Each structure stands twice: as C-alpha cells, then as structure tokens.
Amino acid sequence: MSRSTEVPVPTLTDIQRSVCAQHLDEAAFLWSQWETSLDSARLTLGDLHDIDERRLLAHLDALVLGGSAVREEFLTPALADTDPGLVTAAALALLAPESADDAPFHQVLEALVVGGPAPRPWLQRALEVSALPARVPAVRKLLEQEDPALVATALEVLGFWGVEAGTELSPWLAHPAPEVASAALRVARSTFGPVSPHLLARALESPHPRVQDEALITGLVLGIEPTFTLARCRQLAVLPEAPRRTALLLLAMGGETSDLRVVLEQLGRPEVMADALWALGFSGRMEAAEACLELLADPESGGSAAEAFGAITGLALEGPFLLPGEQEEDEEPARPAGPALPRARPEAVRQWWRETAHRLEPRGRYLLGRPLKGEWLLESFEHVPLRRRHAMALEVALRSRGAHLVQTRAFSGLQRAQLHAARDSARRWNLESPFRTLSTPWAAASRRPVPVPPAPPRLRPALPSSEALAVTGIGMVSALGEDAAECCAAGRAGVLRIM
C-alpha cells in the first residue's frame, strides 16, 4: 500500500484566522496610503518609509510566515476581491521572495490573465514592486497574448524592472493600441539594441498624449534625433489644446536659454501657467526663480510659484515666510489629500531674495539653493517632497542616457539602492549642458550596467531556525503584542508565546 507524499495544508484556529484577517486588512489599508503618498507635496522619502512602508512590509511578512494555510484561506481568495488595496496586498504577499516555490507567483499571473480588466492595474503594481530575475521569462511569455491590454501590462512590468522585452520591439512600437505603444516606448529605454528613428518620429506625432510623452522622453534618453525631439517639445509648448506638461519640463531641464524663455512665455497663458510653473521649478535657473517671485501674490498660482521658487533657491516655506492664515506642517506630515500648496508672504520672500540672490550665478542651475551637480541631485531625493522625485528621476535617466532608471514608485529600499548605484556615474554629469550635446548611448552600450531586477526589500532579519522551534510563524506560537503590527514586530524579534 503506497503512502501519499502530499503534505496536508494546516488548519487555522479561529484566533489565527482573526489575526491573519487583521494583517491582511491592515496591509490593504497601508498599501493604499503608501501608494497615495508617492505623490505627496509634503512627505519625503524617509517619511514614506517611516509612516506607512515599514508597517506595510511587517504585515506582509506576517502573512508570508503563515505559510500554505494563510495562502489557501486568505490570499488566493482575495485575488478575486473588488477592493484594490486588498487585491494588491494579497498579491504582494503571494509574490514575496521568501516563498519556497513559484506556485504563488503563477497564481498571480493567472489572476492577471483571467481576472478581466478591473484587477489588472492592481496586480500590475504588485508585480512591478516584486521583481525577481527568475520571473522575467514568465512575464515575457505574456507578450504572446492576443489581448493588447495584457501585452501592455507585460511591457509595463518589464519596463519598470528595467529589463528588455526579449523580442523585437518594432511591432509593439508600431502597435495601434496606444497602451501597447506607450509601454513599448518605456521598455525601449532599457534595450541594448537600436530603436527605429522612423517609429519614434511617428510616435512623436501620435494623437494620444501618453504615446507622445513617452516618445519625447525615450527619444532624448536614447539620443535618437534629439534636435528633432526638442523641436517637437517647442511645438507642443505653444500649440493650443496640446499635451504640454512633459514638453515644458524637458525644455526647462534641457539647458538651452532659448528653451527656458519658451517656458517663461507660457506664464502669460492662464491655461498653461500651472504646467509652466511646475517645469520652471526643475530648471534651476535664477531667471525662473525671479519669474516665480512675481507670481507669489497670485491667488490661483501663488502656491505653485512658491513651491518652484523654493525648489530652486532653497527657501523653506515656514514661519515668517508663510502667508497669514496658512497652516505650518504638523509633526505628523500631511497626506497628499490634505490642504493645497501653502502660499508665501510675498514681501518677506522678496526681502529674503534681496539678501540671497547674489549667491546664485545667472547662468548656473540650482537645487534647494545649491549648485546642481550630479551627486547633489541624487542626494536631494531624500530632502524634496515625494512628488518632485518623479521629474528628478527623469533627469537622472536623461543624464545617464538610460543607464540609471530610478523607479520612484518602488519601495524606498530599492529607490535608495538605485540612487546609490548611480553615484559614480553622477560625478561625471554636467547638468548645465543642453540635452542636445549628450552622446548617444550606443557607443557606450558595453559600459551600461546590465539591469537585473532586485528582490523587494524586507524588514525582518532571518527568523530562528524552524527546526529549533518545531513550529511555523503562526502555527503553534504567536507573537506578543497589543495589535497586529506589534505582534509582527515581536515575531521578527523572536518574542513568542505558546498558544
């Protein structure tokens, strides 16, 4: 008589079910909070980790420690839920690198394929922040799907991971579905082979704003016809009803005095002013700061003007520089859904500028009041509001010609690792040089680092040996603590009690 070698799935007790449900609910809530915070005008990278991310990862770790019982009873069923946070949290736990096999990963891929359009963006985000080299082939396999939305999702994930598609990109760059074409343009920044200038030029003329924006960025990152790409930026900046935010940003960063003036001229168009102010804050130019100074009293744009002015000059908008009635930041930093950008007291700022302006050179670029050098650009990711990092990462990609792609929507540990990896290269960047002068990447392709997707960060150290304990994380023991987060923290420290 043969014996079955199949290991039965452990059964959870009612107490364990309650604890696991709390871990999953808390992880879902914290993921939603964390995702929203990525565009905060107040929080910094350190805040992102300390407020939500640390606790989110702790709850996910607790779910992973639950093993197959938690996976079968909580995580797999949650993939079919309609709550975005719950679906993403369950997928994140299933995608944890601690898993002993790849079955949970394939469960997530199956949910992505058969679950329809609703959960697709939630599962995509979970995959994006859960990169492992062994998962690349399975995601590339999705490119064989007939559904353009699934192909676009696969390309987006591969682009986020910084790996090549593993196939010729031209069919995707020429694809009629805008979501596929735009995703292919993102992947093109990580490719080691040439990208067709003809297809890029066609994308620059696309009627779809997202395709057009991605083409502008990819063209400059790869150095494909930069003169033509910048000319297209100038056209979009002045055309009525055109998508212009990315074009203005690239012109402001690009280093050309004439391009900066194109952006400054858009301040006279009310419908463009917000995008122009956003772009000017990344120009780093003294002329841009003085233009923002003149708009501090504007009731509609004063907050944006103050933000851009501070980004260039380093003025901290607090105390005597705040307009009466504006609330200063509390000890607990405000969420992005909180109040609008604070407005400055114009006269106080003007007086400060009269005393400070002599420190800036008219032809230089500045960030937070310091000359904009490559190393300072990377260091400042820790100091600026989270929403400003996305544009700064764009400059890193442009100056490194795609060798360093900082994913500002990844967990903070990966962001910091990517910034650290760019430090040696950053010492050689001249951030005052126009984009058109940067060399093409093809000549230096052999010197570009091969992008290997890292594992997502985990907070807990290695747990005590399972052989010594003869228990699993939530099998026969539970952690001491008053709530789910404390229990998980105690578990990471090895403080346990017998159930």
H or E stretch including 497? strand 496-498
Matching residue, tokens 């949910």:
111
Task: Name residues whose C-beta falls within 8 Å of residue 326's C-beta, 6 or more positions apart in sequence.
Answer: 342, 343
Q: What angle do CA 21, 23, 26 make, to 5 degrees?
A: 105
DSSP one-letter code for 72: I
Handedness of CA 244, 245, 246, 251 (dihedral sign): positive
pLDDT digits (tens, 9 = 90+) for 293-346: 999 999 999 999 999 999 999 999 999 999 887 655 444 455 544 447 999 999
Task: Name residues whose C-beta falls within 8 Å of residue 410's C-beta, 6 or more positions apart in sequence.
Answer: 128, 129, 160, 418
H or E stretch including 477? strand 477-479
Q: pTM value? A: 0.87
3-state SS, residue 218: helix
**Once rounded to an integer, what is the mean pLDDT over residues 362-367?**
95
Domain regions of the chain by residue span? 10-37+44-130, 245-322+344-363, 373-440
Handedness of CA 422, 428, 431, 434 (dihedral sign): negative
CA dihedral 484, 486, 489, 493 (to 10 degrees): -130
pLDDT digits (tens, 9 = 90+) for 16-47: 999 999 999 999 999 999 999 999 999 999 99
d(CA 238, CA 242): 8
Which pLDDT score, from 0 to 100, does residue 102 have?
A: 87
User: Looking at the predicted structure, is the pLDDT value of residue 373 above 80?
Assistant: yes
Confidence of residue 150 (pLDDT cuts 50, 70, 90): very high
DSSP one-letter code for 225: S
Q: Assess contact for 236 and 247: CB atoms under 8 A.
A: yes
In the chain, the amino acid numbered 301 is S
pLDDT digits (tens, 9 = 90+) for 231-245: 999 999 999 888 899
Q: Assess contact for 51 and 37: CB atoms under 8 A.
A: yes
Which pLDDT score, from 0 to 100, does residue 340 have?
A: 74
3-state SS, residue 234: helix
Q: Which stretch of 19-23, 129-133, 383-387, 466-470 has the lowest confidence by average pLDDT?
A: 466-470
d(CA 25, CA 38): 21
In the chain, the amino acid numbered 418 is Q
d(CA 409, CA 37): 10
- Render 308-376 in DSSP notation, one character per residue: HHHHHH-----GGGBPTTPPPP-SSPPPTTSSPPPPB-HHHHHHHHHHHGGGS-TTS-EETTEE--HHH
CA 68 vs. chain centroid, Å, equals: 31
